[in-house]
Amino acid sequence: MGPGLYSDIGKKARDLLYRDFQTDQKFTLTTYASNGAIVQSRIGQLYFLLTVYLWLQAELQYLHEYTGISASVGLNSKPLVNLSGVVGNKVVAVGADVAYDTATGNLTKYNAGFSVTNADLIAAVTLNNKGDSLTGSYYHLVNAGNNTAVGAEMTHSFSSNQNTITFGSQHALDPSTTVKARYNNHGLASALIQHEWRPKSFFTLSTEVDTKAIEKSSKVGVSLVLKP
């Protein structure tokens, strides 16, 4: 097992702290077809949307025992070129991610990251937003049997000189139901419960409360995802 791809650096902590949290007051039904069609309806904003995404892009991934490389290019006259690479092994990985816009001749993204992984602990440090923000994250699998895990993330913005610290946890009530919670230093507390009622199909109920302005209404989100 090699170091994986650049997108894997810090992914466990990001997924725990941010994935599936839905704060908009809307109902979403999404189905993914094998031909790329996405049908989405929302109740709350009162509209129906049918969209077909045609991703004209070529992508190449190379995974080796000590290297992981990903390259993609848009298939148009002035494509966006993205290249990322990681070196290391299953314990230590360091990498970079850059994107070049051939239309403007500018680098639109350049990030770097470092991670350390063992059986139940992952720590990562990434430099993002063209060097403007530094993020450190931590993920710890407490109990693999019920998928109990804790995580934390701290991000420092050099331009605004502000810090954001987020803590979170997750726990599987049963093989089909998971609960998650998170809190950050700005006073935002969030929680969700997600149930996989059939393979790849999820119902998620989440809420967010500003503990520094408790008189305000909390935000509630409901999401229903159907995948073939």
Tokens of 82: 């993205």
Task: Give the gyration radius of the chain's Cα atoms.
Answer: 20
Residue 135 clears pLDDT 50, i.e. is over it: yes
The structural domain count of the chain equals 1
Prediction pTM value: 0.83
Q: Measuring CA to CA, how many Å separate 155 from each of 36, 84, 128, 164, 210?
A: 35, 22, 10, 5, 20
DSSP alpha helix (H) spans, 150-207 = none
Any domain includes 1: no
Task: Give the pLDDT of residue 116.
Answer: 97
Q: Please give the Cα distance from 21 to 41 (Å, whole number).
A: 18
What is the phi/psi pair of residue 36, to 5°?
95, 0
Cα dihedral sign, 79-85-90-94: negative
Any domain includes 141: yes
> 46: pLDDT confidence band, cut at 50, 70 and 90?
very low
Tokens of 20: 């599936």
Any domain includes 82: yes
Any domain includes 22: yes
Average pLDDT over residues 19-38: 61
Q: What is the CATH number of the domain that holds 18?
A: 2.40.160.10
Any long-range contacts for 104-109 (C-beta under 8 Å, 24+ apart)? 108/80, 109/82
Range of the domain at 129: 6-226
Any domain includes 54: yes
Any domain includes 65: yes
> 57: pLDDT confidence band, cut at 50, 70 and 90?
confident
What are the DSSP calls for 5-57, one per residue?
A: -GGGTTHHHHHHHHTT---SS-EEEEEE-TTSEEEEEEETTTEEEEEE----E
